[in-house]
Amino acid sequence: MTATATLASRTADLLRSLGAAPLEADGDGPATRSPVTGETLGHLPTTVSAADAVTAAAAAFTEWSSVPAPVRGAVVRELGELLREHKSALGELVSIEAGKIVSEGLGEVQEMIDICDFGVGLSRQLHGATIATERPGHRMMEQWHPLGVVAVITAFNFPVAVWSWNTVLALVAGDTVVWKPSEKTPVTAIAVQALADEAARRAGVDLPVTQLVLGEREAGEALVDDPRVALVSATGSTRMGREVAPRVAARFGRVLLELGGNNAAIVCPSADLDLTVRGIVFSAVGTAGQRCTSLRRAIVHESVADELVDRLAAAYATLPIGSPLDPDTLVGPLIDEDAYTAFAAALDEARADGGVVVTGGERVDGPGGSAGGVYVRPAVVRMPSQTAVMRRETFGPILYVVTYTDLGDAIAVHNDVPQGLSSSIFTTNLREAERFLSPSGSDCGIANVNIGPSGAEIGGAFGGEKETGGGRESGSDAWKAYMRRTTNTVNYSSELPLAQGVTFG
Ligand code: UN1
């Protein structure tokens, strides 16, 4: 049997085991491929159109929003159970379709399980405040009510977890969801939708509370422009967000944007270099540099830069690159040829700017040979300063290194990029760490100490500032984005005192 036949038939088996129909070997629908070998996995089925999905979601919302939140939580509990049961199958499918190594494919499903656990608890904690009023015999409070139909637009790099962060909160909040996944990762979406349908069935919910719309750009645009969609939660490039935000704003809808990152680590003289090297390698190389939280810039004190770069080069030299399905691999493929073009162009530009590629940057053969799958050696590039290429997000494993002498300058360089997602400092000096976390430190939504910028837990709010889009998903009080707040004032007296001391008649 050829490798091609193996991956396509493995995908069919996995889909069946997850309760979904296998893809068609021949069909009218578009073909979809695996980045592991570049081979076709099959042809996609036709799903409901965006407009019809929104119609069904809007109708379902009227009923679903009246179901008590702790009862809504039952769907999420069932989903969490199903994900536990099917973790290895779904994780493997993520590896086949998105090219993540085994451990990261499983980790992504674990993130889904974690947010389900969070969501079940949250379903009993959707609380509003009681606020002191200035009027006697009055009570003022706020309540959080379901918002409406939520469109979830996801990217290829976290093809299932990002859906779950949004959908779990939306379901608990009493919203209904229409999902438009990346064109590059429809198969995992089909599998997850089958699990979500089964979860609803097990919870006794006979409403289309979650739906899947497969399609190209037009499908996403239809959701963005539909006035019945109350919230558009979109993960992807800044370019995409720049188009989505004004269109949704034009109809006074809400957006939750998770766009590009250009995440950095400042490495201080006191840093524990053993830990720093491990933290940097995981963040810069994990998922082949294709996380929005991937580490792209190291801003290193001049006294430790040479040693750190030598140690990074040594660590990079031993990285196993190859099929993400091989449990020993640490670096899987880039998603497609376009990703390689951007990777190579960024390296050329860095060299033209005076950068020196210390290690990596070459294209290598993967399991599909030179014909299929895009594999590269992760690169470390020493730059003379933070030039334009460093200020751009290139979705691949390139780590740029610049040096600093003064921490204030390092923080200025750190913040001098258009994006503001995640950040980190490696130091054992309390003053340096606290300064980085302070208002005059990192300007990102996520700031870490002695941890790289990637691999956030679901319990915290996830998202960033500036061109990252300002949205927050996942933990903490991110659920509020999926609900509408009402402020209620109740007069239980027999007088009618007016606010601000106004007298009227
Ligand atoms: C993304 O890359 O779109 O913090 C999300 C992380 C993951 C999520 C990344 N928990 O790296």
Question: What are the tens digits of pLDDT across the range 202-213?
Answer: 999 999 999 999
> Active-site residues: which are they?
258
Q: What is the pLDDT of residue 153?
A: 98
Residue 455 dihedral angles phi and psi, to the nearest 5°: 80, 35
Q: 67 alpha carbon to ligand 1 midpoint, in Å?
A: 32
Ligand 1 pocket test, pick from 293, 419, 422 with the greatest ligand atom count within 8 Å of Cβ, gives 293
Q: Which of 462, 468, 473, 474 to mutate to test the pocket of ligand 1 (most atoms within 8 A of CB)?
A: 462
Q: Which atom in ligand 1 lies closest to the alpha carbon of residue 457? A: 10
Exposure string for 370-404, b = 16+ CB within 10 A, e = fewer: eebbbbbbbbbbbbeebbebbebbbbbbbbbbbbb
In a domain, 451, yes or no: yes
Ligand 1 centre distance from Cα of residue 3 (Å): 30
- Find out whether the beta carbon of 283 lies less than 6 Å from any atom of ligand 1: no
102-146 pLDDT, tens digit per residue, is: 999 999 999 999 999 999 999 999 999 999 999 999 999 999 999
Q: Give yes or no for residue 2 having a pLDDT over 80.
A: no
499 in a domain, yes or no?
A: no
Question: Residue 215 domain-assigned?
Answer: yes
Cα 253 to averaged position of ligand 1 atoms, centre (Å): 26
Q: What is the pLDDT of residue 65?
A: 98
Q: Cβ(454) to ligand 1 under 6 A?
A: yes
pLDDT tens digit sequence for 218-262 = 999 999 999 999 999 999 999 999 999 999 999 999 999 999 999
Helices 87-98 and 69-85: crossing angle, nearest 10°? 80
For the record, the structure tokens of 331 come out as 């670096």
| CA–CA distance, 233 with 331 (Å, rounded to integer) | 30
Q: Where are the beta strands (DSSP E) in 321-433?
A: 356-359, 363-364, 375-376, 379-382, 398-404, 419-420, 422-426
Same domain for 197 and 270, yes or no, is no
Residues 377 and 393 in one domain: yes
Reduced 3-state DSSP string for 438-499: CCCCCCCCEEEECCCCCCCCCCCEECCEECCCCCCEECCCHHHHHEEEEEEEEECCCCCCCH
Asked if residue 462 has pLDDT above 70, the reply is yes
The predicted-structure confidence for 167-179, as pLDDT tens digits, reads as follows 999 999 999 999 9
pLDDT surpasses 90 at 368? no
- pLDDT in the model for residue 371: 74
pTM: 0.97
Instruction: Fill in the DSSP letter of residue 500.
Output: G
Percent of the chain with pLDDT over 70: 99
Write out the E strands in 164-308: 176-180, 210-212, 229-235, 254-258, 263-267, 295-301
pLDDT band at 5 (very low <50, low <70, confident <90, very high): low
Looking at the structure of the chain, the number of domains it has is 2
Answer yes or no: is the C-beta of 157 below 6 A from any ligand 1 atom. yes
Rounded to whole angstroms, the Cα distance separating 442 from 464 reads 11
Kindly state if the Cβ of 235 falls inside 6 Å of ligand 1.
yes
Does ligand 1 have an atom closer than 6 angstroms to the CB of 292? yes
Q: Is the CB of 468 under 6 A from ligand 1?
A: no
As a whole number, the mean pLDDT across the chain is: 97
Q: Is residue 158 part of a domain?
A: yes
Q: Is residue 277 part of a domain?
A: yes
Q: Which residue's CA lies nearest to atom 6 of ligand 1?
A: 455
Answer whether 263's CB lies under 8 Å from 425's CB.
Answer: no
Max CA pair span of the chain:
90
Q: Is the CB of 403 under 6 A from ligand 1?
A: no
Assigned domain for 504 exists: no
For ligand 1, say whether the CB of 166 is within 6 Å of any of its atoms: no
pLDDT tens, position by position, 401-458: 999 999 999 999 999 999 999 999 999 999 999 999 999 999 999 999 999 999 999 9
Q: What does the alpha-carbon distance between residue 273 and residue 426 come to, in Å, rounded to a whole number?
A: 9
| 322 in the same domain as 245 | no
Provide the pLDDT for residue 369.
79
Judgement on whether residues 316 and 349 belong to the same structural domain of the protein: yes
Q: What is the CA(185)–ligand 1 centre distance, in A?
A: 16
Same domain assignment for residues 282 and 358 = yes
Top mutation candidate among 259, 454, 457, 468 for ligand 1, by most atoms within 8 Å of CB: 454
Distance 471 CA to ligand 1 centre (A): 14
* Averaged pLDDT for residues 7-17: 97
Q: Which residues pair with 256 in a beta bridge?
A: 233
Span from the CA of 448 to the centroid of ligand 1 (angstroms) = 14
Q: Which atom of ligand 1 is nearest to the CA of 155?
A: 3
**Ligand 1 in reach of 234 Cβ (< 6 A):** no
Q: How far apart are CA 387 and CA 349, in angstroms?
A: 9
- Residue 341 CA, distance from chain mean position: 23
CB atoms within 10 A of CB 159: 26
CATH at 62: 3.40.605.10
Is residue 463 in a domain?
A: no
Give the CA distances from residue 450 to residues 47, 90, 419, 436, in Å, rounded to whole numbers and listed in that order.
45, 31, 21, 12
Q: Is the pLDDT of residue 1 over 80?
A: no
ipTM greater than cut 0.90? yes
Query: Ligand 1 pocket, 448 CB below 6 A?
Result: no
Round to whole Å and give the CA distance between 126 and 145: 9
Rounded to an integer, what distance in angstroms lies between the CA atom of residue 262 and that of residue 499?
48
Residue 353 lies in a domain: yes
- Separation of 282 CA from ligand 1 center, angstroms? 13
Same-domain pairing of 345 and 231: no
Residue 332's CATH number = 3.40.309.10
Statement to judge: residues 451 and 430 lie in one domain: yes
Same domain (yes/no): 160, 297: no
Terminal-residue alpha carbon distance, the chain: 90
Give the nearest ligand 1 atom to 462 CA: 4
Residue 327, CA atoms < 13 Å, CB-side half-sphere? 2
Helix (H, G, I), strand (E, B) or coil at 19: coil
On whether both 330 and 185 belong to a single domain, the answer is no
- Does the CB atom of residue 463 touch ligand 1 within 6 A? no
State whether 366 and 251 are in the same domain. no
List, in order, residues 6 or more apart from 306 with CB less than 8 Å away: none
Mutate to test the pocket of ligand 1, among 291, 448, 451 (most ligand atoms within 8 A of CB): 291
For residues 291 and 172, membership in a common domain is answered with no
Distance (Å) from CA 352 to ligand 1 centroid = 31
pLDDT digits (tens, 9 = 90+) for 273-301: 999 999 999 999 999 999 999 999 999 99
Cβ of 287 closer than 6 Å to ligand 1, yes or no, is no
Q: Which residues span the domain enclosing 95?
A: 4-259+469-485
Same-domain pairing of 112 and 228: yes
